[in-house]
Amino acid sequence: MLQTLEWKTLQYRRSYNYLVMSYKLRVQTVAVDQYHLIPTTNMNYLIPQSHTQYHSNSCFPRPIRLWNTLPIYVKSSPSLDIFTERLAVVNM
């Protein structure tokens, strides 16, 4: 059915939306307190330590892991439109 409707899988859509929100957080177009996000080199972030599988797949650790796997040219996109274009061609 997904192929007939030409829809992406649920996992892909979740990952895509996590990464779009991560980009918005990075360029501060979304008002969220970022005190817990610790930037490292190459526009990566430290992944918070998780003691349970539930927490490691929650709304902060999972998107950070996805964000850290992106190529630098995608992370350094100058606008949201360019970010989404570049993200569409990256294999997630």
Kindly tell me the sign of the dihedral angle through the C-alpha atoms of 4, 80, 12, 10: negative
CA dist., res. 45 & res. 39, Å (int): 4
Q: Which sequence spans correspond to the domains of the chain?
A: 11-89
Residue 58 C-beta-side C-alpha neighbours within 13 Å: 11
pLDDT (0 to 100) of residue 42: 74
Is the separation of the CB atoms in 43 and 64 below 8 Å?
no
Q: What is the pLDDT of residue 3?
A: 74
Say how many C-beta atoms besides its own lie within 10 A of residue 44's C-beta: 16
Could you report the per-residue pLDDT of 20-72, keeping only the tens digit for each? 988 988 887 777 666 566 666 778 877 777 777 766 667 778 888 899 999 99
Q: How many Å separate Cα 56 from the centre of its chain?
A: 14
Per-residue confidence (pLDDT) for residue 4, from 0 to 100: 82
Quote the pLDDT of residue 33. 66
